[in-house]
Chain A
Amino acid sequence: MSAALIAFYAVRETLRRRVFLAVLVLTGAFIVLYWLGARFIFAQTNNFPGGVVDENVVRGASVFGLALFAIYFLGCVLAIFLTLGAIRGEAERGLLQPLIARPVGRSSLVGGRLLAAVFVCAPYVAGVYVVVLEITRHTLHWTPDRQLEPVLALVLAVTIIAALSLLGSVFLAPIANGITVFMLLGVGMVVGLLGQIGVVMKIHSLERIAEAASWVAPFEALYQRSLFALTAETSGITKQVLSLGPFGGPQAGPGQLWGWSLAYLGLVGCAVLVAFARRDL
């Protein structure tokens, strides 16, 4: 009950923040640009040399893959900004002390903040995904092979990023925490790209690094899974061509990715609780 109350006030505060408005404006700009870009691409690749390769799939998957990257990135930005100062930052500003002294468990405070971040980020990611999916369907006349899996993977990835940022907020000042989580995100992306290169070029050491990284940083593996799901049922030359593109060669990740990601989220949540319970404010 207390966690829900904290979450309610945190969401209200979030919706009033300028960063939320900035993300909404950027998202609006992205959607308009995506729509324009999709229209131009469709108009100018209508005479794509067909035959062996299904140009509609290549075109649709490549452009939609770019959109998934943007949704993932914007979702992570939102999740990080909502949580980067949740504990130490708010304690330094004096916002946390009046709450901590109340008969509310610290777990409720942390749970409320994570809940608020999920409550804002999950609809955001899902909403932008649906809009972009509809634009793609109507403009490029293409839909992903799996439509639910990518959005679920992105929502879970963004939730994990929010939890990691919350964990960092127990120890680090807001700016330091933001930089750390963004660097973590960046490292994950680089390792994911290395994994893709490893698969395409058959470099097994890179593949192994990417696989290990998917255990350490499942948010990146989930993003890769969302990209993979776009053309999961596609095969043949078209699939080979897609694997050469910047968003077309992702791996499905470990078989236990969903279970491990949920467990990882739980572990990070427990780490936040333990760290916060031991923290003097």
Chain B
Amino acid sequence: MPPALATRALAKRFGRTIALAKVDLEMAPGELVGLLGPNGAGKSTLTKIVCGVVRATSGEARVCGARAGSRSARAAIGYLAELFRFPDWLSAEEVLVLHQRLAGSRGGAGERHDLLGLVGLSDARRVRVAAMSKGMQQRLGIAQALVGRPRLLLLDEPTSALDPAGRRTVRELLERLREREIAVLLNSHLLSEVELVCDRVAILSRGSLVASGAMDELTRSRGLEVETGAGTRLIEGVDREQVPQVVRDLVAAGDEVYSVRLVRSTLEEAFLELTGDEVT
């Protein structure tokens, strides 16, 4: 089975500005990848090239084996843009009907019912877009992106307008998509969210891919946090295998050990280290 997404030396230039510089990225079917980067790092440009809204200057992007932007590639993707609107006179269900027709989906009413339920809008199927809150529109946007059972879902800041409960709904939704083997490229500024749901993270900085890997590969061990009668302290350079010996040594030295915890750097720390002074 071809990768859900594969880019090779993908580059995009807007006039003199380099938005993307030879980005190589691959996503396996069903994989959930977080795309991170400061503002202007090229995240949205990459997403737009993959869904055919923007043309690459050079390089190649393929979606499930098809050239990005081609009809068959677009048939395999679902896309939620960072900036999107639906005609405000359509109801939630009518929006999905329109996109079912455009996507050639034969899911009918069953698919619409399923998708509105998935994003928690079952009771709002007849509500017009004009009467929806921004959060409801965002969730409708996600339902729209899932029309036609896409194999690759591109979500550009899907939780930007959501309250904490809405964000949790989206997180749960992403977990359920994993079960359906839909690959998801999640472009988000919310690192904690990415950390919670993504299998892998790709970090862009100034248009270049500066890091890509699983959470454990991007973060590093900071040591062992030990709580003893003397207080809490961090013992650096300790890995998992050394923990029993460190505890034995502490007890032998007369310390009363109340708790120990291996500490790793957070994704945020890794992100700041990698993107450095570019953060805006």
A278-B55, A280-B53 as given contacts; A103 in contact with B72, CB under 8 Å? yes
Q: Could you tell me if B99 and A98 are in contact, using CB atoms closer than 8 angstroms?
A: yes
B16 within 8 A of A: no
Chain B residues whose CB sits within 8 angstroms of the CB of A205 once the complex forms: none
* Other-chain residue from B14, B83, B99, B101 in contact with A97 (beta carbon distance below 8 A): B83
Chain A residues whose CB sits within 8 angstroms of the CB of B267 once the complex forms: none
Within 8 A of B (CB), among A162-213: none
Q: Could you tell me if B79 and A101 are in contact, using CB atoms closer than 8 angstroms?
A: yes
Chain B residues whose CB sits within 8 angstroms of the CB of A244 once the complex forms: none
B214 within 8 A of A: no
Within 8 A of B (CB), among A1-34: 2, 5, 9, 12-13, 16
A99 within 8 A of B: yes
A101-B53, A101-B79, A103-B71 as given contacts; A281 in contact with B87, CB under 8 Å? no
Q: Could you tell me if B85 and A95 are in contact, using CB atoms closer than 8 angstroms?
A: yes
Q: Could you tell me if B71 and A105 are in contact, using CB atoms closer than 8 angstroms?
A: yes
B81 within 8 A of A: yes
CA distance A5 to B154 in the complex (A): 25
Within 8 A of B (CB), among A88-111: 93-95, 97-105
Q: Could you tell me if A102 and B54 are in contact, using CB atoms closer than 8 angstroms?
A: no
B96 to chain A, nearest CB (A): 11
Chain B residues whose CB sits within 8 angstroms of the CB of A5 once the complex forms: 98, 101-102
B52 within 8 A of A: yes
Q: Size class of B's contact patch?
A: 20 to 34
B216 to chain A, nearest CB (A): 33
CA distance A93 to B75 in the complex (A): 24
CA distance A16 to B53 in the complex (A): 28
A278-B55, A281-B53, A281-B54 as given contacts; A103 in contact with B74, CB under 8 Å? yes
A2-B102, A5-B101, A16-B89 as given contacts; A100 in contact with B52, CB under 8 Å? yes
Closest to A93 in B: B85
Q: Could you tell me if A98 and B75 are in contact, using CB atoms closer than 8 angstroms?
A: no
Q: Mark B95-139, 1 if CB is under 8 A from A, else 0.
A: 000110111100000000000000000000000000000000000
Closest to B79 in A: A101
A182 to chain B, nearest CB (A): 26
Q: Could you tell me if A94 and B81 are in contact, using CB atoms closer than 8 angstroms?
A: yes
Chain A residues whose CB sits within 8 angstroms of the CB of B79 once the complex forms: 97-98, 101
CA distance A99 to B52 in the complex (A): 11
Q: Could you tell me if A99 and B89 are in contact, using CB atoms closer than 8 angstroms?
A: no
Chain B residues whose CB sits within 8 angstroms of the CB of A104 once the complex forms: 74, 102
B51 within 8 A of A: yes
A5-B101, A16-B89, A281-B53 as given contacts; A101 in contact with B77, CB under 8 Å? yes
Q: Could you tell me if A9 and B54 are in contact, using CB atoms closer than 8 angstroms?
A: no
B205 within 8 A of A: no
CA distance A236 to B87 in the complex (A): 58
B276 to chain A, nearest CB (A): 29
Q: Could you tell me if A9 and B98 are in contact, using CB atoms closer than 8 angstroms?
A: yes
Residue of B14, B81, B102 with highest tally of chain A CB at under 10 A: B102
B258 within 8 A of A: no
Q: Could you tell me if B81 and A13 are in contact, using CB atoms closer than 8 angstroms?
A: no
Q: Mark B70-92, 1 if CB is under 8 A from A, else 0.
A: 01101101111101111101000
Chain B residues whose CB sits within 8 angstroms of the CB of A102 once the complex forms: 74, 99, 102-103
* Other-chain residue from B51, B83, B144 in contact with A94 (beta carbon distance below 8 A): B83
Chain A residues whose CB sits within 8 angstroms of the CB of B84 once the complex forms: 94-95, 97-98
B48 within 8 A of A: yes
Q: Mark A97-140, 1 if CB is under 8 A from B, else 0.
A: 11111111100000000000000000000000000000000000
A59 to chain B, nearest CB (A): 46
A16-B89, A103-B104 as given contacts; A281 in contact with B48, CB under 8 Å? yes
A97 to chain B, nearest CB (A): 4
CA distance A280 to B14 in the complex (A): 10
Q: Could you tell me if A101 and B89 are in contact, using CB atoms closer than 8 angstroms?
A: no
Q: Could you tell me if A98 and B86 are in contact, using CB atoms closer than 8 angstroms?
A: yes
A6 to chain B, nearest CB (A): 8
* Other-chain residue from A98, A103, A280 in contact with B81 (beta carbon distance below 8 A): A98
Q: Mark B52-68, 1 if CB is under 8 A from A, else 0.
A: 11110000000000000
Chain A residues whose CB sits within 8 angstroms of the CB of B86 once the complex forms: 95, 98
Chain B residues whose CB sits within 8 angstroms of the CB of A94 once the complex forms: 81, 83-85
- Which A positions have Cβ atoms within 8 angstroms of B? 2, 5, 9, 12-13, 16, 93-95, 97-105, 278, 280-281
**What 10 A-B pairs have minimum CB-CB distances, sorted nearest first?**
A101-B79, A97-B81, A102-B102, A103-B75, A94-B83, A94-B85, A280-B54, A101-B51, A103-B74, A94-B84
Pick 9 A–B contacts, CB within 8 A, sort by A.
A9-B98, A98-B84, A98-B144, A100-B52, A101-B79, A101-B81, A104-B102, A278-B55, A281-B53
* A-B contacts besides A16-B89, A103-B74, 10 pairs, CB < 8 Å: A5-B102, A95-B85, A97-B84, A98-B141, A99-B102, A100-B53, A101-B51, A101-B77, A103-B71, A103-B75
